[in-house]
A and B are shown apart, each in its own frame.
Chain A
Amino acid sequence: MSVLVYTESEEGKFKKTALEVASYAKAVADQMGTTVTAITFNANDTSVLGNHGVEKVLQVNNSSLDKFNANAYASVIAQAAKQEGAKVVVISSSADSKYLAPLLAIDLDAGYASNVVEAPSSTSPFTVKRTAFTNKAFNNTTIDTDVKIVGVSKNAFGVHESSASASAEEFSANVPEMGVQVESVDKVTGKVTIADAEIVVSGGRGLKGPENWGMIEELADVLGAATACSKPVSDLGWRPHSEHVGQTGKPVASNLYIAVGISGAIQHLAGINASKTKVVINTDPEAPFFKAADYGIVGDAFEVVPKLIEKLKEFKAQQ
């Protein structure tokens, strides 16, 4: 009756969120007096999971599962949960995990709580705290079924060390009919994605035009950050829709979010509010973003950003 955690990998390597959900699973297992089993798909070296409390790894090695398929992955995870008699299944908030979770919930007759930010406050009744109203509130929810699925918010629980040694074993599961086939994947390579980024640098209409994005990209480069934009910017076609963050765009839960020339419409703030530290650079001191930010500079982005890049380069050189 262990806690099962789905640890996501990309090209064989674990994502940071995998270590975070493993850490969360360990906290739940400790509360319930049990151990953590992880399930992985075509991952290479699983020993790192031991550092985050995983004792057993079920390794699925199957080339037909090289590309993510929600139906197939949900089915395989369900088979693992049944084999292990898992009462709690922990997953991340990645696009893929959120895709498969409801299918898994139906397969396991399990209640599912998404966007969970803390370890359960009680395991009987099983009570978790999740975000609601697009980060404007929290909702304490009980999961009332025998088997429970917890979707952990990104960057909320954090990665915790814990020494265990993870023993790996092959898990061969039946792969169901896929239903949907991926024809092609169009993915930016060599650039950090908004979903995985520790730091996000975001530009708004204050930048006046797409030709001025060079400094945003340079600032992001210096920080190892992902670039993002506000909704008007993506609506105007200055930047691709995939960079749009906010309520109807991508959610951001980075450690640092730097908003340049973004006024801070409520829809924008809702989408980025889960970020830990927020910085705003804007000419208008009345811009609503100043109420939501931790640090702010009232000033012209075209003057402030190049100076900031320079100062950051000096800082990085000293490190």
Chain B
Amino acid sequence: MKILVCISHVPDTTSKINFADGDTKFDTNGVQFVINPNDEFGLTRAMWFKEKQGANVTVVNVGGAETEPTLRKALAIGADSAIRVNTEAKDGFQVAKELAKVVQDGGYDLVIAGRESIDYNGGMVPGMLAGLTNANFVNNCISLEVEGTNAKAVREIDGGKETISTSLPLIIGGQKGLVEESDLRIPNMRGIMMARQKPLQVTEPTGANAETTSVKFEKPAPKGAVKLVDADNVGELVNLLHNEAKVI
């Protein structure tokens, strides 16, 4: 089985979010980038398929050279090879178009992407990729088994989950649950050394156009200070929630 894991290069969760160039660009100054958490769950599941079922795992990112350390980290975790499509990621559609070319050229059976990236939160790439490549698609996937060309997946739905049967080629929008937090791997020294020898192929983009344009960022208005209620006067909280916040 050939697996492609889509890796988004995103600011670490604890990063301060600031904007530059008249609030038109994300300010990367002092920001540490990581593998998008939703993608990391998928990558770890892919490692399971590699170790238990002999799958071959490629990781891919659409982005500039600055994203290569993130791909190297994925290689250090255990992916066999990496591809970087050498163009700035502009929107979900453009990224999905570039990835569709990679999927078609590579003949992947299974593509695992995160349900959304934690920066732009678009939640578009896996579904659009499925639409563009005519593959089956399971979003919010919290469990995945593959047997031959058949797949069994569990999807988280509002208020529960559903068990799905489908077949390869398949695209997954993955999240926590594909593996547990405790299953995530920190690259060890041997993995880091080996990652340096693994192929990281840089391919030129097809030049797909974006369909949306980011114009300007804004930060939410600063929040007022918390109103503290005395622990011996809990009734006051009920009063505030009813008369002031008007939520009960």
Is B29's beta carbon under 8 Å from chain A? Answer: no
Cα-based distance from A294 to B229 in the complex (angstroms):
11
Q: A105-B128, A140-B218, A180-B138 given as contacts; is B242 within 8 A of A315 (CB)?
A: yes
Partner of A139 from B120, B164, B234 at Cβ < 8 Å: B120
- Which partner residue on chain A sits nearest B173 by CB separation? A99
Q: A111-B93, A141-B213, A297-B231 given as contacts; is B220 within 8 A of A256 (CB)?
A: no
* A to B CB contacts below 8 Å, 26 in the list: A99-B173, A101-B123, A102-B130, A103-B137, A114-B124, A129-B218, A136-B220, A137-B220, A138-B217, A142-B212, A179-B166, A180-B164, A182-B163, A182-B164, A193-B158, A193-B159, A231-B181, A235-B182, A256-B247, A293-B226, A295-B228, A297-B230, A298-B228, A300-B231, A311-B235, A314-B235
Q: Which chain A residues have a beta carbon within 8 Å of chain B's beta carbons?
A: 68, 70-71, 94-96, 98-103, 105-107, 110-115, 127, 129, 131-145, 179-188, 191, 193-196, 198-199, 223, 231, 235, 241-242, 244, 247-250, 255-256, 266-267, 270, 276-277, 279-280, 290-300, 303-304, 307-308, 311-312, 314-315
- Which residues of chain B are within 8 angstroms of A143 by Cβ–Cβ distance? 211-212
Chain B positions 55-104 with a Cβ under 8 Å from a chain A Cβ = 91-93, 96
| B 207-222 to A, binary, CB cutoff 8 A, 1 in contact else 0 | 0001111111111100
Q: A105-B127, A138-B217 are in contact. List 12 more A-B contacts (CB 8 A).
A: A103-B128, A133-B118, A137-B219, A141-B215, A182-B164, A187-B162, A194-B159, A244-B176, A248-B37, A250-B156, A295-B226, A311-B235
Contact B163 A138 (CB under 8 A): no
Chain A at the B interface: mostly helix, strand, loop or mixed? mixed
Contact A279 B241 (CB under 8 A): yes
Q: A103-B137, A111-B211 given as contacts; is B160 within 8 A of A188 (CB)?
A: yes
- Which residues of chain B are within 8 angstroms of A134 by Cβ–Cβ distance? 118, 121
Is B180's beta carbon under 8 Å from chain A? Answer: yes
- Which residues of chain A are within 8 angstroms of B121 by Cβ–Cβ distance? 114-115, 131-134
Which of B41, B125, B163: most chain A CB closer than 10 A?
Answer: B163
- Which residues of chain A are within 8 angstroms of B196 by Cβ–Cβ distance? none
Contact A102 B166 (CB under 8 A): no
Partner of A132 from B120, B138, B162, B175 at Cβ < 8 Å: B120
Is B186's beta carbon under 8 Å from chain A? Answer: no
Cα-based distance from A17 to B124 in the complex (angstroms):
20
- Which residues of chain B are within 8 angstroms of A279 by Cβ–Cβ distance? 237, 241
Partner of A184 from B38, B125, B162 at Cβ < 8 Å: B162
- Which residues of chain B are within 8 angstroms of A180 by Cβ–Cβ distance? 136-138, 153, 164-166
**Interface locus among B1-9, B13-21, B197-205:** B13-21
Contact A103 B166 (CB under 8 A): no
Is B177's beta carbon under 8 Å from chain A? Answer: yes
Cα-based distance from A188 to B158 in the complex (angstroms):
10
Contact B123 A114 (CB under 8 A): yes
Cα-based distance from A131 to B210 in the complex (angstroms):
19
Partner of A297 from B126, B164, B228 at Cβ < 8 Å: B228
| B 139-167 to A, binary, CB cutoff 8 A, 1 in contact else 0 | 11010000000001101111111111110
- Which residues of chain B are within 8 angstroms of A290 by Cβ–Cβ distance? 226
Cα-based distance from A81 to B225 in the complex (angstroms):
46
- Which residues of chain A are within 8 angstroms of B214 by Cβ–Cβ distance? 139-141
Is B51's beta carbon under 8 Å from chain A? Answer: no
Cα-based distance from A96 to B123 in the complex (angstroms):
12
Is B189's beta carbon under 8 Å from chain A? Answer: no
Cα-based distance from A294 to B42 in the complex (angstroms):
36
Cα-based distance from A133 to B219 in the complex (angstroms):
10
Contact B123 A102 (CB under 8 A): yes
- Which residues of chain A are within 8 angstroms of B234 by Cβ–Cβ distance? 297, 304, 307-308, 311
Contact A223 B131 (CB under 8 A): no
CB distance from B44 to the nearest CB of A (A): 13
CB distance from B54 to the nearest CB of A (A): 25
Contact B136 A106 (CB under 8 A): no
Contact A294 B136 (CB under 8 A): no
Q: A105-B93, A187-B157 given as contacts; is B17 within 8 A of A137 (CB)?
A: yes
Contact A133 B17 (CB under 8 A): yes
Contact A94 B139 (CB under 8 A): no
Cα-based distance from A10 to B82 in the complex (angstroms):
43
Partner of B248 from A113, A183, A186, A256 at Cβ < 8 Å: A256
CB distance from B240 to the nearest CB of A (A): 6
CB distance from A182 to the nearest CB of B (A): 5
Contact A138 B220 (CB under 8 A): yes
Contact A185 B164 (CB under 8 A): no
Contact B131 A105 (CB under 8 A): yes
Is B52's beta carbon under 8 Å from chain A? Answer: no
Contact A187 B248 (CB under 8 A): no
Which of B93, B142, B180, B237: most chain A CB closer than 10 A?
Answer: B237
Q: A94-B158, A187-B160 given as contacts; is B131 within 8 A of A103 (CB)?
A: yes
